Chain A
């Protein structure tokens, strides 16, 4: 999920290249491929993978979109690996089809009265694919491996932010014994959290929290998780073909040692590697893929197709106004910039990829909120929709500042970057009468500059939530957050969020976050632009498709119905 660089209009479902991105690279005409000489015939072909052309009725062909980068649950970070690993492994809990955590490797959990200690009990008789029992030490071993500074796991924070002592070990300030994980016996693991985290059960379904067997991992050494033979499985599927970095099909076969195998309907999943979206669409139409994502223009083309689906992700793309820049320290100027452009026209006419205009910071896909309402429903649309009201704010701001500030908008040059840049410039000219400059650099250069706070205004990036709770967004704007690179500082905001992070009163926690988001928008500390959506095509015979927005695609619930 995280390799998906947070960019507007960028690839959906994995890291597929758009044809335009692709031409940019191939156009540079880099050195050549070895084309002469004799190649061993026969051996170069994949030999039908696990399914070849047409699909059998117990087999699903899906598009992985890219080679699998890393199947080591301890270090992996990207959506392609997550889509595979979610089906091979299982944590204490697994998300169901409604994204609610249900007991998986654990038969249940006991939560202490202060809600800081979670004691998991493993299910009886659960096994690794080699027949060894899955034990609580397997979990402890894997979690500590994530935190070990030498592992250099980039997802370590998803454990170290929540588990007591984990950050100390991860930053080399203490040894592994500082981490508050206990395994009194083979069946029990208890873990102590830093603060109340109502989403912790859901976190245990995340790949970074999967178990690993120490004996096997050490036996494999550097070869661990390179291919199907160098992995042990405790999930619904095993991997019988494919390798990390390998270009051939990844084949998943139902795991006969899986405790819940009676509820796994599809025997074989073929993960095909199709990078070009147009190719994927052709294969889908030719019946060789049951599921594929859609990017850019093809979303528009297929949006009325009966097979079309769209999911809005927990992913907000938002603008940053650097408050260290003269002019942007003025509230009215910031508000004018926040209000003064038409978001509907941006998503419907410029992006056209199914994205949804954003009038709040926390995306609608975050489910906890107030009572039955999601966070977004509870706070409603916070950014005023009256674009015309922005001009008065701008003029007032200019008067307060004394002169019209000369501002430059920085954009990353991805597939839609230039179009968005032109659009924003034109909107501010029309709606505010303001003449802003535009600077376009490569996407990565823009990212570096925003990180270094060397920019004035930027609209290129967003944030993908890590877990289903508003906090995954709200803590970004704490004044000392490393991700707050627009110098937003508000004492009341800090107080509300810090209280929410420590209080045991869940009502208060949510009220504080709702209040804080209102402050953030009132102060124009951030400029919500749109909520990113994923679009795709799915064959009618493929039932029970379950993508987890905070994890991978889950085929445990997949069924094939009515396919001849």
Chain B
């Protein structure tokens, strides 16, 4: 098991290195200058300013400089924000995005499970159709449509929620709800399918035959066994949330990472683009690593396969 974990860990570092390098070089292909106000500078002035940011050095040298900084944990300073360190900008905003995302996942999980269970137990009833309708709506209405609509109607017109900003927990409710729709919809559909399959299994019939109450059968046997594959879809779901976070943070004026990331690309603030990409990659790679290790723990077959090599 230790060997397996170590091997996965080395893999993760290699993946991170490749992502970092690829992003760094791709970024250099962006047209335009990262220098502010470059449109109004003569070529000579622009070159002089570039010197201060090492932009005059050959690309391999710039790359080497960046990577040595990175190894020391230095993500550099923002071009756009008057040399503010990238780490302080990211650390400022990370908790906000994490809070919003976590809340959305929790809400989505609860709502999705509920809809899924109702759909499976009351198959083909009006409840089932209702849950299915909500699920289809949740998957097919994108956040960039839902967020402005929710803001306009629930925020401005009905005045139930704040229109925007992030000043109290109450402010976070509407954005979280918007974000959670995709999660809820996917989990609902998934839970329903899995549960229907498990409900048809022999051991469920056996449990029923033993005279267990309906609730006990659902909780102990059906739900538990339907949940295992759910672990697999949580990760892609989290990834799907990311695009949502970019939009929801902008629409609701929430000072998170997603919104900042978009701006840094427009402004070609290379250090911020790099810092955020590295952070996102670490998050993804770490999740996959965790997932692989968890699988190894849950399912001995995977672990054995890993050990054989």
Contacts and interface: CB of A to CB of B under 8 A. Distances in A.
Interface of A: 2-3, 5-6, 15, 17, 19, 21-23, 25-26, 29-41, 43-49, 52-53, 66-67, 69-72, 75-78, 149-150, 152, 154-157, 171-172, 222, 225-226, 243-248, 272-276, 278-279, 282-283, 285-286, 288, 441-445, 447-448, 451, 461, 466, 482-483
B45 A156 contact: yes
A70 B45 CA distance: 20
B99 A41 contact: yes
B105 A31 contact: no
B81 to A, nearest CB: 4
Contact of A244 (B81, B95, B241, B279): B81
Given A77-B36, A461-B39, 7 more contacts: A22-B144, A26-B144, A32-B241, A35-B101, A35-B105, A40-B95, A444-B32
Contacts of B287: 36
Contacts of A76: 82
Interface string B39-78: 1111111001101110000000000000000000000001
Interface string B147-191: 010011001100100111111110110000000000000000000
Given A171-B44, A247-B255, A35 B266 contact: no
B132 to A, nearest CB: 27
* 8 closest A-B pairs by CB: A247-B255, A35-B101, A444-B32, A31-B280, A70-B82, A32-B242, A245-B81, A445-B31
Contact of A6 (B39, B163, B257, B262): B39
Contacts of A276: 250-251, 253
Nearest to B265: A25
A445 B32 contact: yes
B96 interface: yes
Interface centre among A19, A44, A154, A274 (most CB of B within 10 A): A44
Contact of A38 (B94, B102, B171): B102
13 contacts: A22-B262, A25-B246, A29-B243, A33-B280, A35-B97, A36-B287, A44-B166, A154-B41, A157-B45, A247-B96, A247-B260, A279-B148, A279-B250
Contacts of A43: 95
Contact of B83 (A222, A247, A483): A222
A444 B30 contact: yes
B80 to A, nearest CB: 5
B284 A77 contact: no
A154 B95 contact: no
B242 A448 contact: no
Contacts of A483: 42
A207 to B, nearest CB: 12
B259 A275 contact: yes
B242 A31 contact: yes
Q: Is the interface of A mostly helix, strand, loop or mixed?
A: loop
B253 A245 contact: no
Given A5-B39, A39-B102, A286 B78 contact: no
B75 to A, nearest CB: 13
B168 A48 contact: yes
A77 B35 CA distance: 10
Nearest to B277: A31
Contacts of B254: 247
A286 B155 contact: yes
Contacts of B281: 31
B280 A32 contact: yes
Contacts of B253: 272-276, 279
Interface centre among A34, A75, A155 (most CB of B within 10 A): A34
Contacts of B152: 282
Nearest to A27: B243
A360 B148 CA distance: 41
Contacts of A45: 166-169, 171-172
Nearest to A446: B31
Interface of B: 30-32, 35-45, 48-49, 51-53, 78, 80-84, 89, 92-102, 104-105, 144, 148, 151-152, 155-156, 159, 162-169, 171-172, 238-239, 241-243, 245-247, 250-263, 265-268, 277, 279-281, 283-284, 287
A53 B155 CA distance: 12
Contact of A39 (B81, B99, B159): B99
A39 B104 CA distance: 13
Contacts, number: 250
A247 B259 contact: yes
A369 B263 CA distance: 40
A124 B135 CA distance: 71
A72 B84 CA distance: 12
A507 to B, nearest CB: 30
B239 A32 contact: yes
A37 B102 contact: yes
A110 B158 CA distance: 61
Contacts of A448: 31-32
A283 B250 contact: no
Contacts of B92: 245-247
Contacts of B242: 29-33, 35
Nearest to B84: A245
Contacts of A19: 144
A128 to B, nearest CB: 20
A504 to B, nearest CB: 27
Contact of A21 (B35, B163, B252, B266): B266
A46 B255 contact: yes
Nearest to B278: A31
A279 B241 contact: no
Contacts of A2: 36-37, 39-40
Contacts of B261: 30
Given A3-B36, A32-B283, A46-B255, A275 B96 contact: no
Contacts of B241: 32-33, 35
B157 to A, nearest CB: 9
A14 to B, nearest CB: 12
Nearest to B238: A35
A177 B5 CA distance: 64
Contacts of A157: 40-41, 45
A2 B85 CA distance: 24
B93 A247 contact: yes
B84 A244 contact: yes
A149 B48 contact: yes
A46 B266 CA distance: 26
Nearest to B247: A26
B44 to A, nearest CB: 7
A36 B105 CA distance: 8
B26 to A, nearest CB: 11
Contact of B262 (A25, A39, A272): A25
Contact of B243 (A26, A38, A447): A26
Contacts of B155: 282, 286
B298 to A, nearest CB: 18
A154 B36 contact: yes
B31 to A, nearest CB: 4
A268 B297 CA distance: 58
Nearest to A245: B81
Contacts of B37: 2-3, 77-78, 154-155
A442 B167 contact: no
A5 B31 CA distance: 14
A444 B33 CA distance: 8
Contact of A46 (B81, B82, B102, B166): B166
Contacts of B256: 33, 247
Nearest to A441: B31
Contacts of A3: 36-37
A172 B44 CA distance: 12
